[in-house]
Amino acid sequence: MLPLERLRRIVGAEHVLLAPEEMFAYECDALTWLRRRPAAVVLPGGTAETAEVVAALSEAALPFVARGAGTGLSGGALCPEGGVVIETARMKRLLSLDPWNRFALVECGTPNAEVSRAAEPHGLFFAPDPSSQNVCTIGGNIAENAGGPHTYKYGATARHVLALTAVLPDGRVLRTGSPLADPPGYDLAGLLVGTEGTCAIGTEATLKLTPLPRAVETLLFAFRGVADACSAVQRVISSGLEPCTMEVMDGATIAAVEASVNAAGYPRDAGAVLILEFDGGDAAVAESAERAERLCRELEVLACERARDRAHRLKLWKGRKGAFGAMGRLAPDLLVQDAVVPRSRLPEVVARVLEIGREHGIRMSNVLHAGDGNLHPNISYDRRDADETRRVLAACAGILQACVEAGGTLSGEHGIGLEKRDYMSLVFGEEDLERMRAVRDVMNGRSLLNPDKVLPAREPKTP
């Protein structure tokens, strides 16, 4: 039974939602083919309220899940059957910012980009930059160990979380990590990052801030096809150049972006574009950009452009970051797939992925964090069409299988969630999975928190 009165006392009646119509709005995150309506949604206003809410739910033995901005792409914030959503959208205060020691303490419902915005006057920024960074919350970034285009140079979220306050599934509050270098004891903050909200609910995070680079050069190359763009990526990397990001978009993506409000001026006749960016000291950046331009021009480049100024650079990026949303022009629903392969295998894997798409007769466009070997096949479909949905899911299975066979893995940054849970045995043995379950059980022994995500259920023991 829902401890309704108690929840209302903790967070205030207006922050406990129950009406079936309200539950409808919370039935999915950005992965719309997985839908489950919660029994209630609670919006706590801080760590203490979250802890009390969790304690109340735990005592009532009700399952629950934490949700930030609902921009996740693997169903991570999908509510457990008959459970409660703990929504962190009210917890968005910037608690402190220490420019000298280069860290910020924020509540976990804070949108990613707000941290960089607050740090900018001090010449600092928060490096992880998922495409949804204006919206997605720090809590969600931590849960998924989110990446983004600049992960290639700066690393994913795990490298930028110094300390964490988290509510354990019984309502106790864990404080772990420290902004000091190499704090003693087990690095539980490091352990929690990437557990996809199956071990604890992050409520406050101390984030590492990075000095803004003095100089940035952004180059845009247009190619006939994705394979050429991938060859350029290999060439740049093997020449010893160190770009901070290498993004590839295919022709279908270019068309959708150029039709949207985020039109970036990508050449519409190109089969692929590559965005290369260098950052650092003035001289080094200028020299690297020159060399990269020379190298790529030796290939069959259709066009090459260098961002003239900050405004032009932001425009080039806006197109890339709005690519997912721009697909709404193609079909009512979108599935953003996410897989990783060794970057040396990218050209052949991309070709295979396109082939799989054709085999299943689905509409696909591709975005790649090419430097990381991270593929994002975007599949446009209509979830009301059962046959098309089935073909989309079959294609996803084929894509994941192909990536794993090429020495890759199931996800680069979107997480496993519910979407890919049953593929985990493709990359992990039963013993590996069992150790992971054991870690989860230490934190979340009754499996009330986000119960059916990430790890497939134990295989039934044969007597």
Partner 1 sequence: MSDLAPRQIRSRADLIQYGRALDCVHCGLCLPACPTYDLLAREGTGPRGRVYLMRGLAEGEILPAATVLRDLDLCLVCRACEPVCPSGVRFGEMMEFCRAHILEPARPPGRGLRLRRFAARNIFNHPALLRALAAFFLLYDRLGLRRLLRTYGVLQYFSADLALRDAFLPRVPRWSERRRLPHRTPARGATRGRVALLEGCVAPFLLGRVNHATARVLSHQGFEVLVPRKHTCCGALSAHFGQLAAARAAALRTIDAFQALGPVDAVISNSAGCGAMMKDYGRLLEEAEGASAAEVRAAHGFAARVRDVTEFLVDQGIRPPPGRVEARVAYAAACHLAHAQRVTEAPLELLRAVPGLELVPLERADRCCGAGGLYNALHPRESLALLEARIQDLKRSGADTLATANPGCLLQWSAGIEREGLAVEVVHPVELFDRAMR
Residues near partner 1 (CB under 8 A):
17, 19-22, 24-26, 28-30, 32, 41, 43, 69-71, 87, 89-90, 111, 113, 132, 134-136, 257, 260-262, 322-329, 332-334, 382, 384-385
> Please, which residue, 24 or 175, has the CB nearer to partner 1?
24
> Please, which residue, 58 or 110, has the CB nearer to partner 1?
110
> Please, which residue, 67 or 343, has the CB nearer to partner 1?
67
Tally of CB atoms within 10 A around 126: 27
> Please, which residue, 125 or 324, has the CB nearer to partner 1?
324
To partner 1, the closest distance from the beta carbon of 7 in angstroms equals 15
> Please, which residue, 113 or 302, has the CB nearer to partner 1?
113
To partner 1, the closest distance from the beta carbon of 42 in angstroms equals 11
To partner 1, the closest distance from the beta carbon of 440 in angstroms equals 28
To partner 1, the closest distance from the beta carbon of 88 in angstroms equals 9
CA distance 245 to 143: 23
To partner 1, the closest distance from the beta carbon of 53 in angstroms equals 15
> Please, which residue, 113 or 354, has the CB nearer to partner 1?
113
Whether residue 276 contacts residue 243, with contact meaning beta carbons closer than 8 Å, is answered with yes
Name the token pair of 136.
């997605």
CA distance 276 to 165: 37
Sign of the torsion formed by the C-alpha atoms of 142, 123, 372 and 351: positive
CA distance 206 to 442: 24
Give the CA distances from residue 64 to residues 53, 74, 355, 452, in Å, rounded to whole numbers and listed in that order. 10, 17, 40, 11
Q: Name the residue type at position 159.
A: R
To partner 1, the closest distance from the beta carbon of 405 in angstroms equals 30
> Please, which residue, 322 or 451, has the CB nearer to partner 1?
322
Eight-state DSSP code of residue 327:
G
> Please, which residue, 132 or 145, has the CB nearer to partner 1?
132
CA distance 248 to 149: 10
Instruction: Kindly give the interhelix angle for 346-359 and 386-405, rounded to the nearest 10 degrees.
Output: 160
> Please, which residue, 42 or 57, has the CB nearer to partner 1?
42
To partner 1, the closest distance from the beta carbon of 353 in angstroms equals 21
Whether residue 206 contacts residue 162, with contact meaning beta carbons closer than 8 Å, is answered with yes
Any alpha helices (H) in 412-463, and if so which ranges?
Answer: 430-443
CA distance 189 to 84: 25
> Please, which residue, 73 or 416, has the CB nearer to partner 1?
73
Give the CA distances from residue 186 to residues 160, 172, 191, 192, in Å, rounded to whole numbers and listed in that order. 17, 18, 9, 11
To partner 1, the closest distance from the beta carbon of 329 in angstroms equals 6
To partner 1, the closest distance from the beta carbon of 102 in angstroms equals 25
To partner 1, the closest distance from the beta carbon of 246 in angstroms equals 22
Whether residue 151 contacts residue 413, with contact meaning beta carbons closer than 8 Å, is answered with yes
To partner 1, the closest distance from the beta carbon of 22 in angstroms equals 5
Instruction: Kindly give the interhelix angle for 282-297 and 226-238, rounded to the nearest 10 degrees.
Output: 130
Which among 179, 205, 15 is positioned nearest to 111, based on CA atoms?
Answer: 205
Which among 314, 350, 310, 340 is positioned nearest to 413, based on CA atoms?
Answer: 340
SS3 content of the chain, % helix, strand, coil (to 5): 40, 20, 40
Tally of CB atoms within 10 A around 242: 14
- For residue 427, the SS3 value is coil
To partner 1, the closest distance from the beta carbon of 389 in angstroms equals 12
> Please, which residue, 279 or 388, has the CB nearer to partner 1?
388
> Please, which residue, 14 or 182, has the CB nearer to partner 1?
14
Which among 364, 412, 410, 418 is positioned nearest to 391, based on CA atoms?
Answer: 364
The vertex-404 CA angle with 402 and 408, nearest 5°, equals 115
Counting beta carbons within 10 angstroms of the beta carbon of residue 5, is it exposed (0 to 12), middle (13 to 18) or buried (19 or more)? exposed
